[in-house]
Structure 1
Amino acid sequence: MRSVLTLPDDGARTFGAHVAGLLGALGAAQRGTGPAVEVLEGPAAGEFVQTFPQDAPAGTAAVIRTSGSTGMPKRTALPAASLAASAAATRERLGGDGHWLLALPLHYVAGLAVLSRALLGDTRVAALDLRERFTPEAFTAATRVLADQSALDADLLEEAPRPLYTSLVPTQLTRLLEDDAATEALRSYAAVLVGGGRTPDATRARAREAGIAVVLTYGSAETCGGCVYDGVPLPGVTAESLNGRLRLGGAMVAGPYLGDPERSAEHFSEEHGTRFYLTDDLGEVTDGVLSVSGRVDDVINTGGVKVSAQAVQRVIEALPGVRGVLVIGVSDPEWGQRVGLVLEEAPGTGIAVPDDATVASAVRAALGAPAVPRLVWRPAALPRLGNGKPDRRASISALEALGREA
């Protein structure tokens, strides 16, 4: 039954064929009949590149590159057994296999997990053309294609239609709930998994009022995707707080980080036959319910993508004509946070000061589009405290004011 459905236009069909190729390669890797697959971000938005890494350990099905908790690039090996365990635990929690709508990039674990779950259940995937801007209209149309095919399959097999599932980031859910047709489409899903960042309270309330079956997920590439749903660990998953830092355990734990034994040793361990992943999240587990209170590090989470403020700062500091730089997260109701930049120019050097376009180009080339500063303030001097450190509070206030004016 497994196949990739798309909207009926040439561009969508081309992208769908690309997804189908990855689905086949991932399936072979999970069965052990093909090599591991590494999914890389493509040259344009939404595109992905499928490669076959030579350094993946035996038993690896996929390799995902991720900024991780520090915002610095990591290559995480996803063992076939771990991917299968993650998919099986999701199936058990949701109550059965179903057809999936792919709305997330495939070089992120949340997108790849959609394919893994469909492979386990031998079910269909409807793929949005991720090269195009995400819109409520495209989501609604793809949902209709998936629902119609599900009904046809059920008639053919003389069984009840399979449930529909999808996985989104909070920003996507917020946008869909602003559109009546898309809200109605969301009601078609037995579960709408939402992860990659904190979902705003207003969005959660609106989804609840609309009767949308939202499931808030928590996890990462190191756990083959979400392994805690609505605060409750999936079957076979353990969660605990070690000195305030969250640790997750179970068969779904992936690893190691390829080419980084020190970081692997810091985060991955095994005790009494169970693999554990030590996160960089702060939180607690009370009466079996996990809650996240913050991060160990200083990472900006914008639209579900983690961006290292220090990494962005280093790129901008290297540009000619720059004296002082502060990169900081600015709260945003839609994206969770936006990347904010305070830039102090170097006067009297005779060197052209980089404009916003130059800064954006340099950051995009080094770290990707999500890391590009969206709010830029250029004071005569970087605000500083008496000890010489940047005044973060004053900088955030100024950037928030710019955001309100935009």
Structure 2
Amino acid sequence: MMPVKFNLIVFILYLYADIALSSFCYWNTACSYRYFSTQTPYNAVRGDIRDSVINIPECEPISIWGIFRNGKTYPDPKSAIRMKEAIAIRDLVVSSYENGRCSLCAQDIDNLRDWVIDNNMFDKTSALHDEGRQEMFSIASRLKQVYSKLNELEGANYRFTPTHHHWVKESAKAFLEGLGSKNVVMDDLMDPIKSDSEEDPAWNKETNKYKISSDYLAAKDRIQRRLGIEFSLTSDNITAVYDLCRYSWSGLNNKASPWCALFTTEDLKVLEYIGDLEHYYKYGYGRQNAEMNGQIPLADLLESFQLAKAGKGRIITAYFTHSRIMDMVYTALGWFKDSKPITAADKKRDRYWRTSRNNPHAANIVMVLNKCAFKKSSDYHVMFYMNEEPIRSVCEGGICSWAEFEKLLSPFREITSNNKTTALK
């Protein structure tokens, strides 16, 4: 027989948990959590190149190199099927609220009940979303306002290269529209870095471990009790509802999705971490050949700026690709590397590997080569930007001398032309 004191403590803990759940109203939260791993809206984390551009007296930008992830898309076919099936959970939640078992606020329930299904999520799977198109258009428009040379694109002084996937191609088209250059054309569509034909079970090892950890199971229990439904939610159900939350969140006008009300902020952080683990071990520091693949675009960067320095370069070279390639490039550069690998056993809040911040929709890295005239002698400096903010940790103040730039990129000098073709094209 358990001691009365122990039973009282357990009762108090459950009572406190229920009060905490019922006191959280999503609709009027002053600052809703909007970090959804690789489905984070670009506007939630971006800077603005017009405000953050680094200008050096006596220096002129002569060449721009960038790599851009595609803008927001509709869900892939497999996710779309699960999301469509999960919509039925809405009726269960509303019924649970009407019967006094659900902890959601009245307005959260109203918003969920009134939510209008966007059939494009299921009819246009993997297609570029209108929001994604606007993300890419706006990035290019802001770049053009800062770099006047982008008004001079003609002949062979530019290169725009997307992968062959239609959503990436459409992202590149939107970017060109943002530049406003009517006669600019893209390269022939090319294949991305080839992925392994079969997934390595090791890639999902930490993710699967996390899904049976106390951290994840506590979140799963909170969600079940918060909704008060008799139907036992599986991990697949929770993932599908989470996808409804993040795919129906509008980043352009910062309008939250009513599906996000089904989660507390801590729940969303747990689900976000699953995305971090997945990308870390599939495409980041947890994968053996990720760094090698990421070096290939960087070899092209080095060559592009060497040509520009010799007076034979382009005004802009831009590649349009996928989230996994962004992860690989970060890994090759040594960016966002934690002192220890991230694992299922240790979800650090201050970790560097945060896909929400480093790999949102339309994530981008832009480098700008500047020609400077100090004391009548030519010199060159390179500025690094990520999501329109300077990367000040690369070099002092975010400004790299040519020597520092070459030192950083020199490990990639030996990448062959054939490797570039396989990876970038």
TM-score by length of 1: 0.22
Q: Compare relative contact order (CA 8 Å, sep 6+) and give the higher one, 1 or 2.
A: 2
* Structure number having the greater strand percentage: 1
Q: Kindly name which structure, 1 or 2, has the bigger radius of gyration based on alpha carbons.
A: 2
TM-score by length of 2: 0.22
* Structure number having the greater helix percentage: 2
